[in-house]
Structure 1
Amino acid sequence: MILSRLSIINFKNIAQADLSFSPNINCFLGNNGMGKTNLLDAIYYLSFCKSYSHIADSQIIRHDEDFFMLQGYYDNNGNEEEVYCGMKKRQKKQFKRNKKEYGRLSDHIGFIPLVMVSPSDSDLILGGSDERRRFLDLVISQFDKNYLDTLIRYNKALAQRNALLKQEIKDAALYEIWEEQMSVTGEEIFKQRKSFLSTFIPVFQEFYTYISGGNESVGLSYRSHHEHGELFAQLAEVRERDRILGYTTRGSHKDELEMTLGEYPMKRIGSQGQNKTFLIALKLAQFDFLNRNGFTSPILLLDDIFDKLDSQRMERIISLVSEERFGQIFITDTNREYLDEIIRKTGHDFHLYQVIQGNIESLKEEK
């Protein structure tokens, strides 16, 4: 999948932009706070119907404006696809593919596979387990529509059970309706997550070993209540305690993806460089998985990835993303030296832009 052209109006600090992109490498240079990340977020939004930063749609509209609009034109194996998103204040957003509006936004997920590496990814290591589950769900949902539908049904059943708990309702039959749905859908989620990680983890470890120079050992391990028997019985067992707490303490929404460096939690002992290497290896493994299992090559967004890395790790990452398999890449940085190094190594055509206060100008174009 190649993003050929992008039009932006009133998206965060970008008032207006009409851009044409290289099918290979697109570099955006500028100081922090200028709008480089916002540009990548606009591309991300057209893939996932939401911002990478998880902010509300109403906060995306540029200050003192009444709407935002994104329009992307993609080359899908020789066929042009138009994806449009627009929203006015206090109104529902519209999402269209080739001028036809989606009935459900979830139907769009996976059509434009995309992987983004960002400084905010540190939450994957340092944040709560919900961040790590979101990562799993995002990857799997991009190639498996059934998984996303199952996840939606699980979350609806979970919300209904939590509502009963908060109302302090004691009728067991009412709980059993939703607990049965949570058990069935949760078991499927567990199987899918476990199957995905069995193939994902070795690839992740290979990327980490290469970037780090082979001097460190890292691991990922999956923990779930489903490992301890049928969820339906577990929910019945903790129902009284959950009623006191007012929320559900067992289920797929409590699964954990443990990240380790050696024998210890990554979040406790990892340096800034090690954490960043861990995250980049995760995302490159995500790209590799989608590339092998999807119908088209993902778009890769790399936002300020070289900060906190030593020269050897930077060199290895540059070497990796220069490989042919990585297709179309969008890169931001404050230092042109790194961007020029990537361009030099690939030998591909590229577009280079300067971003200043939300204004995006072409610096150089080479074919």
Structure 2
Amino acid sequence: MHIDKIKINNFKNYISTEVKFSNKINFLFGKNGAGKTNLLDAIHYLSYGKSAINNFDSDNILIKKTFFKIEGDYSNNLSYKCTFEQPNIKKIYENNDKYSKVKDHIGKIPLVFVNPYDINLIRNYSSERRRFFDQLFSQIDKNYLDSLLTYNRLIKQRNTYLKSLSTIESIDINHLKVYDEKLIKLNYYIHNFRKEKVKKFGKKFISVSSELNKSKDNFSILYSSNFNEDMSHQVFEKYLEKDFYTKKTNIGIHNDDYLFNMNNKLIKRIGSQGQQKTFIISLKLSEFYLLKEKLLISPIILLDDIFHKLDDRKINVLVNYLLKEEFSQIFISDSIEDRLNEIKKIIKKIKIINIDKGKTYEE
């Protein structure tokens, strides 16, 4: 799978632009703030119907404009279009046919995006890591996506009920059981799905990281949950008092975490910036392999400012790794000219796209 062409209107710092891409390696070059990340984010938006950087669609609209539009032509002979108009009207099209639900688009254009904000997967709370794996698993299994959406809706409703209670004596046990009996089944399914998939994902991750790391340090990913297969809906009764006082549901897969380790210790505590960057790159490339295996489509890879924090040896290892035949279309962004010149010596077939103040120029 690759994107042949993109058209952008009023998206971030792009007024109107059209860019044609190589089906192999594209190098976006320009100063910081020129619009390299914004172009990559536009490509990401076509895949997922949302920005990888901004949480609110309105933040992606060019200043003083009221809408943005992104269009892309792909190698599967299909075109996709995403539009957003203020105050909150989002539409996604496949060949001018609008999706009734955004979730129906997920998995159509598999894509892996590595960007500087990914370091938060290591440093921030468990919700960041759950979001990463949930997005990955939702692309490869629609039942997982539907189950997760139902679970999140039930948890929100249960928590809303808990917040409405003024005294613990006012709890309606039968009312909660309606939620709990549904939640226990969803907990079983999602917990077992995550446990199985992370185990398989972890094996590929170890293989990828060992090739990129080239050291004695061992990277690993462990799945952690306060839910287990022996629990029944009665476990919610055990935690009912705590749920009441905290005004939230304390048992369940919504509390899960994925432990990112180096040498059996959390990498965020002992890893250098370079080691953490290598961990993230290995994580995202493992995502590529899982998507390719399950969807039978080679995902597009976006590598934003990928070489920052890496020494020359690790950069050389990474660039040569990306030359493997199994990769399809790759986008790399950077702002250092000397580095671009060195990479051009290694990668013979590469398309350079210069970017300056939201405008693109092809070499």
Shorter-chain TM-score bucket reads over 0.9
Name the SS for the 2:234 alignment partner: helix
- Report deviation, 1:226: 2.4
Q: Among 76, 88, 106, which residue is 1:109 paired with?
A: 106
Alignment of 1:290-309 (within 5 A): 290-309=291-310
Equivalent residue, structure 2, for 1:174: 175
CA contact (8 A) 1:87 1:94 kept: yes
CA distance in 2, matches of 1:225, 1:91: 37
Q: C-alpha offsets along residues 150-170 of structure 1, whole Å, 9 cap, x if unaligned?
A: 110110111110111110161
CA distance in 1, matches of 2:292, 2:210: 20
Structure 1: which 5+ runs fail to align?
none
CA contact (8 A) 2:58 2:88 kept: no
1:216 paired to 2:217: yes
Equivalent residue, structure 2, for 1:357: 357
1:85 paired to 2:82: yes
CA contact (8 A) 1:132 1:256 kept: yes
Give the alignment's Cα RMSD to 1 decimal: 1.4
For 1:26, the aligned partner's letter is N
How many residue pairs get aligned? The number is: 359
Equivalent residue, structure 1, for 2:120: 123
Name the SS for the 1:259 alignment partner: strand
Q: C-alpha offsets along residues 211-234 of structure 1, whole Å, 9 cap, x if unaligned?
A: 121321122111112226325222
Name the SS for the 2:78 alignment partner: strand
Q: Among 138, 143, 150, which residue is 2:140 paired with?
A: 143
Equivalent residue, structure 1, for 2:157: 160
- Report deviation, 1:351: 2.1
CA contact (8 A) 1:68 1:88 kept: yes
Q: C-alpha offsets along residues 157-212 of structure 1, whole Å, 9 cap, x if unaligned?
A: 11110111110161111111112222111211111111111111111112211112
CA contact (8 A) 1:46 1:84 kept: yes
CA contact (8 A) 2:205 2:283 kept: yes
What is the identity percentage for the equivalent residue pairs of Structure 1 and Structure 2? Answer: 36
Alignment of 1:271-350 (within 5 A): 271-348=272-349, 350=350
Equivalent residue, structure 2, for 1:201: 202
Equivalent residue, structure 2, for 1:100: 97
CA contact (8 A) 1:306 1:314 kept: yes
Alignment of 1:217-296 (within 5 A): 217-227=218-228, 229-230=230-231, 232-296=233-297
- Report deviation, 1:341: 4.3
Calculate the TM-score normalised by the size of structure 2: 0.95
Equivalent residue, structure 2, for 1:10: 10
CA distance in 2, matches of 1:101, 1:297: 25
CA distance in 1, matches of 2:196, 2:347: 34
Equivalent residue, structure 1, for 2:71: 71
CA contact (8 A) 2:28 2:353 kept: yes
CA distance in 1, matches of 2:221, 2:4: 36
CA distance in 2, matches of 1:343, 1:232: 60
CA contact (8 A) 2:227 2:251 kept: no
CA distance in 1, matches of 2:196, 2:294: 13
CA distance in 1, matches of 2:159, 2:311: 47
Going from structure 1 to structure 2, the CA distance change for 1:332 and 1:172 (only over 3 Å counts) comes to same
CA contact (8 A) 1:25 1:343 kept: no
CA distance in 1, matches of 2:320, 2:186: 42
CA distance in 2, matches of 1:305, 1:173: 53
For 1:74, the aligned partner's letter is Y
Equivalent residue, structure 2, for 1:38: 38
- Detail structure 1 runs of 4+ shifted over 6 Å in the superposition: none
- Report deviation, 1:263: 2.8
CA distance in 1, matches of 2:140, 2:340: 31
Q: Among 133, 143, 151, which residue is 2:130 paired with?
A: 133
- Report deviation, 1:336: 3.5
- Report deviation, 1:342: 4.2
Equivalent residue, structure 2, for 1:55: 55
CA contact (8 A) 2:54 2:60 kept: no
CA distance in 1, matches of 2:131, 2:232: 21
Going from structure 1 to structure 2, the CA distance change for 1:341 and 1:294 (only over 3 Å counts) comes to farther
CA contact (8 A) 1:133 1:257 kept: yes
CA contact (8 A) 2:162 2:247 kept: yes
- Report deviation, 1:343: 4.5
Equivalent residue, structure 2, for 1:183: 184
CA distance in 1, matches of 2:234, 2:222: 25
Equivalent residue, structure 2, for 1:22: 22
CA contact (8 A) 1:219 1:260 kept: yes
CA distance in 2, matches of 1:190, 1:40: 33
